[in-house]
Structure 1
Amino acid sequence: MGNRKFFHLSNSLRATSRGFTLVEMLIVLLIATLILAIAINNFPKQRRIYTYQQYISELETAVRMAKLKAVERSVNVSVCPDLNNNSIVVYDNGLDRSALCNSNSNSNNSARNIIYTINIDNSIATVGSNSVGFSFDPRGLGIIGGNICIQSADGSMYYKISVQSLSGRINIEKGSGGCR
């Protein structure tokens, strides 16, 4: 008799564990579709933010590298915005202190040696129009102070690196809105 109770219990368990119903499967499928739709819509935005952050990191590295190259090579090095090409260029000026990032020296850019260039995609970010650039002397001090600003294409955030003249101190400022 004990076996019959066990047999009866196992049959009743089998009858109640039938699996998923069609309605349950449709609900799970609907939830998965909604999550996937949200993720796909956010992917381009996240990619733009990631690329913008890469430009920021590259700019910071280029500025620190420019200061080190000036000391290492015993030359004057300039970090200049190129608003026409939406890029930032690091130049080895040699011993020439007159070849800085002003409009008069931009015609002489071909005479200077390019150390590094950051090309920025217009759809992601732009070089700020108030960016003037700066230069380091062979001791790593600032010949001329200035700044370079990168702002997101939609103008929602900016990142500005400034160098003080004489001390060569590097300041970083970031925030919401366009370049100031």
Structure 2
Amino acid sequence: MCVYDTISAPIRYVDSLEKKQHILLFYEDQEYARIIEFRFIKNGLDSQENCIYVTDEDSGQVVLKFLSYGIPLHYFQSGKLQVIQIRNMFTDKNEITSRSKKDAEMILGQLIPPFRIVGRIVPNVSTINGMSVELEFERKTHDCFEESRGSIMCTYDLSKIEKTQRKKWMEDLRQNHHATIYATKFGEGGVFCSC
């Protein structure tokens, strides 16, 4: 187990990636998390990887944020970087699962290896049903990750994880990723990984 625990740890870790990884990003500061996510994507683009950013935010607004971060427009025009907006407003577990499967199939259908993905398949993890469906997707992804030909960063705003079982959810998520990045306040955080 290696631990990056200095102030620059999240960015240093993202910059040091040489092999495919299934990464968990817990954050409190959304703008700090976005810098980490965008750096992960930028490094992928620099390595000629195809990148997908999955979000429940307006995709046009996210593209503008990428542009202001310094990601050139030609990556969007060439399809090397795609922003995919997903909406899953269901509350029933079966409906969430069904919609999430369709979204995952659509995203994976557009994927050309080698790749990097940032995001999460269930936008709303503030409910027990949403979080349990997301965790099941995380387990399946991690179980078959060796077959994957790219890296994935799964992002979680700590304030939005279902509260009654948050500690258990977080532990289950950690067990189903190669590395966990904690991005607390801007410029602070730590990384815990299996090396």
More strand by share: 1
The higher-RCO structure (CA 8 Å, 6+ apart) is 2
TM bucket normalised to smaller: under 0.3
More helix by share: 2
If the length of structure 2 is used for normalisation, what is the TM-score?
A: 0.26
Instruction: Pick the structure with greater CA Rg.
Output: 1
If the length of structure 1 is used for normalisation, what is the TM-score?
A: 0.27
